């Protein structure tokens, strides 16, 4: 039967990978999920073998399910463009501490290794402590020489970055070459694009001079995380605007598209809508849709119920998805290869 499939809610990365992790994901977005340590990332929709999503119904791996019937799941255009697999990765992320200052390369960077790729991403802020924010792009007057001198001297790189206070509902697109870091006290949803069969690469400029033990806990006698200063400098877009002008190129404001729907991300790689309230509606599908409930309860096709922090994937072959978001809110994401995503077409 062609239907939306709920995914298991506990696809978490370990603390040693995300030592900045908080507890908001478990306490607010994953009620009832038992986990023994803070959670920094929940890979809600993933075909990455390192952290793969599983169907709730029978435990099958999502990437294996798609591989059996790629056109049915992804639609013909996406299946052909990406070799029968999905490039869409959707995460929930929570930071109790600042993340490292980092940058992602372009997919076609000639110095990427075998199996490596870029990682265009976007951020939708779900919660933020008072005064919390993001580090996004370089301040006015900051060039490569300034950044390199700061790093070589072991100084605080954040003094040269734009700090952007945020609140729930703020959205940003992070293109390759953008210097960025998520600040402490921010919880967000993070749709990303990672070419199938590749690992999305993150280069760390700087990690706040922190040290950790082998389990990811702060330890002044521990080891720092690996940095990639030369590669970070090489892939940064030094021609981009500076200061607030750059922040505004990244910021996205919701565009209402009717019935409680708003388009929040529209790129050549992926699109994302927010659904909240309004009347029940239908959307036409030409590729797989990833739906994550952000609050309350959302119904898909009348039978599949998503509660807070739960995600589902909807195959393209369903053709029309009927949605009732009157009891909550959700984010819907999809792949849009080679063109602007636009809004989902009404059905």
Q: Which two tokens stand for residue 340?
A: 């602007």
What is the model's pTM?
A: 0.96
Q: Are 107 and 199 contacting, i.e. CB atoms less than 8 angstroms apart? A: no
Q: Are 95 and 22 contacting, i.e. CB atoms less than 8 angstroms apart? A: yes
Nearest alpha-carbon partner for 127 in 259, 27, 250:
27
Neighbours of 49 (CB within 10 A): 11
Query: Would you place residue 340 in the very low, low, confident or very high pLDDT band (cuts 50, 70, 90)?
Result: confident
pLDDT at 132: 98
Query: If you average pLDDT over residues 71-86, what whole number do you get?
Result: 96
> pLDDT tens across 262-301, in order?
999 999 999 999 999 989 999 999 999 999 999 999 999 9
Q: Which two tokens stand for residue 119?
A: 């990682």
Query: Would you place residue 1 in the very low, low, confident or very high pLDDT band (cuts 50, 70, 90)?
Result: low
Q: Which residues pair with 219 in a beta bridge?
A: none
pLDDT at 338: 64
> pLDDT tens across 208-247, in order?
999 999 888 899 999 999 999 999 999 999 999 999 999 9
> pLDDT tens across 148-193, in order?
999 999 899 999 999 999 999 999 999 999 999 999 999 999 999 9
> pLDDT tens across 94-118, in order?
999 999 999 999 999 999 999 999 9
Q: Does domain 97-252 have CATH number 2.60.120.10?
A: yes
Print burial letters for 240-252: b (CB count within 10 Å at least 16), e (below 16): bebeeebbeebeb
Q: Where are the domains of the chain?
A: 97-252
Whether pLDDT at 74 is above 80: yes
Q: Which two tokens stand for residue 8?
A: 């298991």
Q: How far apart are CA 308 and CA 103, in angstroms?
A: 31
Q: Are 41 and 347 contacting, i.e. CB atoms less than 8 angstroms apart? A: no
Q: What's the gap between Cα 22 and its chain centre?
A: 17
Q: Are 41 and 63 contacting, i.e. CB atoms less than 8 angstroms apart? A: no
Nearest alpha-carbon partner for 190 in 171, 207, 203:
171
pLDDT at 219: 94
């Amino acid at each position: 039967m062609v239907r939306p499939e709920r995914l298991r809610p506990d696809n978490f990365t370990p603390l040693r990978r995300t030592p900045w992790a908080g507890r908001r994901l478990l306490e607010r977005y994953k009620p009832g999920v038992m986990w023994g340590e803070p959670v920094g990332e929940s890979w809600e929709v993933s075909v990455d073998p390192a952290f793969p999503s599983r169907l709730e119904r029978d435990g099958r791996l999502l990437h294996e399910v798609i591989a059996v019937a790629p056109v049915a799941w992804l639609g013909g255009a996406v299946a052909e463009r990406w070799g029968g697999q999905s490039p869409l990765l959707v995460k929930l992320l929570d930071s109790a501490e600042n993340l490292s200052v980092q940058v992602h390369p372009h997919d076609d960077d000639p110095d990427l290794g075998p199996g490596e790729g870029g990682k265009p991403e976007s951020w939708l802020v779900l919660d933020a402590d008072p005064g919390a924010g993001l580090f996004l792009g370089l301040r006015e007057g900051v060039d490569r020489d300034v950044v390199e001198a700061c790093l070589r001297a072991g100084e605080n790189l954040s003094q040269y970055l734009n700090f952007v206070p945020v609140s729930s509902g703020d959205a940003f697109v992070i293109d390759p070459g953008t210097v960025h870091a998520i600040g402490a006290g921010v919880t967000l949803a993070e749709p990303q694009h990672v070419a199938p069969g590749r690992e999305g690469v993150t280069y760390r400029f700087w990690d706040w001079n922190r040290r950790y033990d082998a389990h990811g806990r702060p330890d002044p006698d521990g080891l720092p995380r690996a940095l990639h200063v030369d590669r970070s400098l090489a892939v940064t877009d030094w021609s981009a605007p500076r200061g607030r002008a750059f922040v505004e190129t990244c910021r996205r404001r919701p565009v209402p598209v009717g019935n409680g729907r708003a388009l929040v991300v529209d790129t050549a790689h992926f699109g994302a809508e927010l659904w909240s309230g309004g009347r029940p509606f239908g959307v036409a599908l030409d590729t797989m849709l990833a739906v994550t409930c952000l609050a309350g309860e959302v119904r898909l096709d009348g039978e599949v119920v998503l509660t807070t922090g739960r995600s589902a994937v909807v195959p393209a072959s369903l053709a029309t998805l009927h949605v009732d978001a009157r009891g909550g809110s959700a984010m819907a994401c999809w792949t849009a290869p080679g063109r602007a995503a636009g809004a989902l077409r009404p059905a």
